[in-house]
Amino acid sequence: MRARTSRRMTQTQAAYALLLPFLAVYALFLIYPFFHGIWISLHDWNLLAVAFNPDAKEFVGLRNYERVMWGRNIEWSLFAVPFWQVLGLIGLVLSVVLRLGDKLSRFNAIALGILSVLLIVIPGFHPGEGGRWFDRRFWPTVGNTLVFVGLAVPGVTISALLLAAAVNRETRAMSALRTLFFLSQVLSVTVVTLIWQIMFSPRQGLIANITQAVGGTPINWLTDQQFAMAAIVIATIWWSLGIAMILFLAGLQDISKDLYEAAALDNATGARAFWYITLPNLKRTITVVVILQIILHFQVFGQSHLMTQGGPNDSTQVLVRYIYQTGFRDSELGRASAMAVFLFVIMGCFSIIQFVVGREKAE
Amino acid sequence: MKHVLLIAAATALIATESVAQEITLGRFFGACEDAGTDTTTSAGEACIIQSIINAADAELDGISINTLPTDWGNYYDQIKAAYAGGTPPDVHVMHRHRIPEFAGLGALAEISGELEAAGIDASDWSPAALDAVSYNGGIYGVPMDFHANLWHVNMDIMEAAGLVENGAPVLPTSPAEMMEHAAMVKEATGQDYLAADFAQFPIGVRLVLALMWQQNANIFTDDGTATINTEAGKNAVEAITQLFDAGFANPQLNYADSQQAFLNGEAAVLVNGTWVVDFYSAEAAKEEVALDNYYVADFPTLFETGATWADSHMWAIPASLEGAEREAALKVLAFINDHNIDWARTGHMSVRQSVVDSEAYQSLPHRDEYTGTAAIARDTPPSARYGAIQDVLNRELQAIWLTDKPVEAALQDAEFEVQDLLDR
Amino acid sequence: MSRSYYWLVTALAVPAFIWLVPTIWMVSLSFQPNDVLARTTSSTAFGLIPLPFTWDNYAALFSFGQTPGWFLNSLIVAVGMTLGVLAVSTTAGYALARLEFPFKKTITVICLIGLMVPEQAVFIPLYTMFADFGWHNSYHALILPRMAVPIGVFLMMQFFRAIPKDIEEAARLDGVTWLRIFWYVMLPLARPAMMTLAILTFLYAWNDYLWPLVSAQQREYFTITLGLASIQSNFAQSEGLGRVMASGVIASLPVVILFLIFQRYVVQAMTVGGSKG
């Protein structure tokens, strides 16, 4: 009996001894900074001034949040941005109808419903008579980030899915192709931007050279507002398609060969088999990949910072770059931290969704 | 020969390293890794400054200099981060316009009492140069140059368009005349009249600012009221957009592209700074470069008063530097000050009267072609938010020429935002 | 093989070519003289074949360039970070997965909540904290923050949970202590998982940009990623396009080689690490 107790004691001690190194760095370099960030966001905190005089910060409560996200005379109306809001309304109606008709799982119905409500509510805010946003750049920056996510995520997902389905064969050629498509994934963001910056250059770029050779006029990819975001998205797809493809390949391995053989008897091969068998069976993987990509691409920084410097006319300015600039160019750590907290909240929401989806799979 | 020098430099470095006071030096201007120590033959901003630094490293006893990263993009972000982190470089370059921000916080050392002992003769600086490094009655740095926007001219294109008189280009005296000239150039050669970086760095902003100052206007008053959405602002912007609208200039070129266009003989005029004069002269001399006949002109007066954007590079040391390190840092400043003539070879204007008066300075290539620039040099009123204000202007002006945002709307937005920045 | 298979391979050649071209072009440009590139980047076959050819860019890179130094820094940081992450993750992961102790649930939840905090949400307070400590411009400043990210703990925990209980119970009956079981029994078993985690961490360290950007202002501590970013704006200036591209090639070589050797593990790492964020 005594032996048991002492053994249990050692187990506890051993556990804490093993946990201690991680818990120490975790508390010091993640938990504490996280709360400290919130603390900074409640202050008027100039990077340089506080460095020279620690008392130079001033507690301002939630004013940084107001200054970043709110404005003077902000009003809300149902049809400020009709397109998105009507889309939201349609989504809301759909989620209710489909749920009542039992065409949608409860989780999906709730997700669609929340998304729709957000679509109705958020774009509805706008400055009223004589009013304006305190920070005119913040919401457009969030918008740009969403546009980037909205283009990059489907771009990566669809191309990765198609490629994965195509190279999912155990032959030497296919294995070489898998390696090839994955290879760019291991390059660093600065190498990727280095390559694509020069690829897109209207004078020195390969794309421009080829365009000119076939008699076209080169596009100013990175300085034309119509193309700058597209250019960044293209570079991103080229870069980050690998992970998605690998995840899809893993998902494809799980689909039983029998299903395809059975389908082949019904004359469903090729594209039809892809549509009727592959897609439905990959639903979970697709969801995981999409959420992952959203989280990943919401944090985009390097592509925008290095390829376009956020331009032209702020059209590729993204949230993380704005945080960086506000903090380190404008020295306003308080405001920057408020934006960082906003970023955390959004990413946190997606993490929770990811967690829930992951659990559904486990069940 | 080059190799011998390099080996000499390398051995000197190794030999002195053990006892030397190490000075970290922060600068932009870009990298030049094989600059050597010969300050009299290097070419281009990056290599000239690096050769001066290398020479200081080799010649100053007991001092070794470690040059920090040299890129433009994140320079001020990084310097700020370094100050805030308590590890600022011992010596660093900065622009005159940043003094209010850095000196205002007490980051920079006030050095007026130490100049003489270090062998720097402040009375040799021109009054404008002294003014550039002064803040609230103190001296916070050693000025290195004045730099300003110039018109770099391709004389062959101008000649073809009939715009050359007595060996000098005929430049416009009003926006309307500029359009006439542009049309003549297009007609005669099919090339653009004007090129500049309108899409990346704030060179377009500096152009518009100059045109506003030429109308005796400014973007904000000394008491902190933004005045951008004005008649003068509109005139200035439209003087430029008319060129785009008529197809006489391309707003989508960035810095490298606009420079390339000029060197390729695709534009009669390039608006860019003093810092490229020696580079363009060297390029023009090359067989394979289309630009052959290169001329430099003062920024022409299109409205009432002559004005062109100008700024100053200067060297400062952090207030926290003390003792032997501070002495060593001042020696480096003195060395740079002594080599003002070498730096002027870039095309920049010297800050030292003795240099300006010297034969060597006056005989620098093209130097006599832009002697009027010193008199018309201008900048916006001092502000701790200079960088952010430039950014706002750059964004809104780019919106006008790259995305067809209505002029009035862009200027109004710029005015609001600049006012917000001034009020903060 | 059927005919449709060959059709598929042919059809895939197009995307494969598109995927390959940018890389080939970078390599090709790095072998062309700078003064040629200043005039045209499409000398032979749109510049995809390096003619005229030169080694100068690489020679210059290794005689004057800072690239070798940056390279070394990246190596130190990546290896240091990998070892650090492995050390704290395996220990904590094992404790959470296999040992019973008070507050286990609470601690597990606290650890996993950290998965939700993105690097970008904490880099400002981390910056001020490291500034207060005077830690910037050092290797540990570049390494430590990543060690606090619980993804490794999560991965190792998952792995240890899957190991059958009887292995350690046999050892327990022989009176072996927990720490010894961890060291002599569990760690050898965990090698594949550790490999996966190591590769994930190494790739992350090699490619990280935002944190080094704010933390390292001195060139001595530039990583290759940061160094490359710093010379990117200098295309038209003194560096020369060929030199810049050569730096890019050098920066990519180790990760590419690493990938080709450990492809199986990398793919595994991505599958596991990817699906868990």
What are A92-105's pLDDT values in tens digits?
998 888 888 887 77
Count CB neighbours of A172 within 10 A: 7
- Would you say residue C193 has pLDDT above 70? yes
B258 contacts on A by Cβ (under 8 Å): none
Is residue B7 predicted with pLDDT exceeding 70?
no
Q: What is the mean pLDDT of residues B316-345?
A: 93
CA–CA gap between residue A123 and residue B84 (Å, rounded): 38
Mean pLDDT of B293-297: 96
Portion of chain B with pLDDT greater than 70, in percent: 95
Measured CA to CA in angstroms, residue A267 lies from A7, A277, A282, C167 at distances of: 65, 13, 21, 50
Closest CA to C48 of B265, A207, B306: A207
Q: Where is pLDDT greater, at B156 or B2? A: B156
Distance in Å, alpha carbon of A7 to nearest chain C alpha carbon:
9
User: What would the mean pLDDT of A38-66 be, rounded to a whole number?
Assistant: 90
Report d(CA B414, CA B220) in Å as an integer.
11
pLDDT digits (tens, 9 = 90+) for C100-115: 899 999 999 998 888 8
Amino acid found at B211 = L
Q: Answer whether C217 sits within 8 Å of B288, measured CB to CB.
A: no
pLDDT at position B81 is 82
Put simply, the answer to whether B46 touches C64 (Cβ < 8 Å) is no
The predicted structure's pLDDT at residue C67: 81
Structure letter (DSSP) for residue A171 = S
Q: Alpha-carbon distance C249 to C236, whole Å?
A: 19
Q: Which of A152, A68, A146 is nearest to A346 (CA)?
A: A146
Interface of B with C in 39-78 (CB under 8 A): 44, 46-47, 66-74, 78
Q: Specify the pLDDT at position B16.
A: 45
The whole-number pLDDT of residue B70 equals 65
Q: Does A37 touch chain C (CB under 8 A)?
A: yes
The predicted structure's pLDDT at residue B9: 53
Token pair for residue C184?
A: 């002599």
The residue among C37, C15, C6 whose CA lies nearest residue C243 is: C37
Interface A:B, Cβ pairs < 8 A: 80
Give the model confidence (pLDDT) of C79-138 as tens digits. Answer: 999 999 999 999 999 999 988 899 999 999 998 888 888 888 899 999 999 988 888 888
Q: How confident is the model at residue B3 (pLDDT cuts 50, 70, 90)?
A: low
Query: For residue range B352-376, what is the model confidence (pLDDT) as tens digits?
Result: 999 999 999 999 999 999 999 989 9
- Taking only the tens place, the pLDDT of each residue in A274-329 is 888 888 888 888 888 888 888 889 999 999 998 988 878 788 999 999 999 999 88
Instruction: Say what the pLDDT of residue C277 is.
Output: 40
For residue A333, list chain C residues with Cβ-Cβ distance below 8 A: 124, 128
Q: Give the model's pLDDT for residue B49.
A: 93
Please check the confidence at residue C238 and state whether its pLDDT lies above 60.
no
Q: Measured between CB atoms, does A194 come within 8 Å of chain C?
A: yes
Instruction: Answer whether residue A88 shows pLDDT above 80.
Output: yes
Predicted confidence band of residue C273 (pLDDT cuts 50, 70, 90): low
Q: Is the pLDDT of residue B5 over 60?
A: no
Q: Which of A166, A261, A245 is nearest to C4 (CA)?
A: A166
On average, the pLDDT of chain A sits at: 86
Percentage of the residues of chain C whose pLDDT score is greater than 70: 94
ipTM for the predicted complex comes to 0.89
Look at residue B71 and tell me whether its pLDDT is greater than 80.
Answer: no
Residue B275 DSSP code = G
A147-151, A249-253, C230-234 — most confident range: A147-151
pLDDT digits (tens, 9 = 90+) for C142-153: 999 989 988 889
CA A6 to chain centre: 50
* pLDDT at residue A77, rounded to an integer: 85
pLDDT surpassing 80 at residue A346: yes
Per-chain mean pLDDT for chain B: 89
Instruction: Measure in Å the smallest separation between the Cα of A148 and chain B Cα atoms.
Output: 19
What is the token pair recorded at A233?
Answer: 């998205």
Structure tokens belonging to residue A15: 């556990």
What region, left, alpha or beta, does residue C96 occupy, with left being phi > 0 and alpha being psi -120 to 50 degrees? alpha
Which of B54, B70, B201, B260 best probes binding to C when mutated, by most C CB atoms within 10 angstroms?
B70
Long-range pairs for A344-350: beta carbons < 8 A, 24 or more residues apart: A344/A34, A344/C116, A344/C117, A344/C118, A344/C121, A346/A298, A347/A295, A347/A298, A347/A299, A347/C116, A347/C118, A347/C121, A348/C116, A350/A291, A350/A294, A350/A295, A350/A298
State the pLDDT at residue A18: 92
Q: List C-alpha distances in Å: A259 to A250, A275, B322.
A: 17, 13, 78
Q: Does C210 touch chain B (CB under 8 A)?
A: no
Point out the least confidently predicted range of B200-209, C119-128, C214-223. C214-223
The closest CB to that of C124, out of A31, A173, A327, belongs to A327
Higher pLDDT, B423 or B177: B177
Q: Is the pLDDT of residue C178 over 90?
A: no
Chain A nearest-CA residue for C123: A33
Which pLDDT does position A139 carry in this prediction?
A: 92
pLDDT of residue B8: 53
User: Given a cut of 80, is residue C270 above it in pLDDT?
Assistant: no
As a whole number, mean pLDDT of residues B336-343 equals: 94
DSSP 8-state code for residue A304: I
Which residues, listed in sequence order, are joined to residue B66 by a DSSP beta bridge?
B24
Residue A224 pLDDT:
83
Using an 8 Å CB-CB cutoff, list chain B residues near C213: 74
Give yes or no for residue A360 having a pLDDT over 80: no
Query: Does C276 have pLDDT greater than 70?
Result: no
Choose between B16 and B130: higher pLDDT: B130
The amino acid present at C3, given as its one-letter code, is R
Q: Which long-range contacts (CB under 8 A, 24 or more apart) does A291-294 make?
A: A291/A350, A291/A353, A291/A354, A291/A357, A292/A243, A292/A244, A292/A247, A292/A354, A292/C274, A292/C275, A292/C277, A293/A149, A293/A152, A293/A153, A293/A156, A293/A157, A293/A240, A293/A244, A294/A149, A294/A153, A294/A350
Rounded mean pLDDT, B90-109: 91
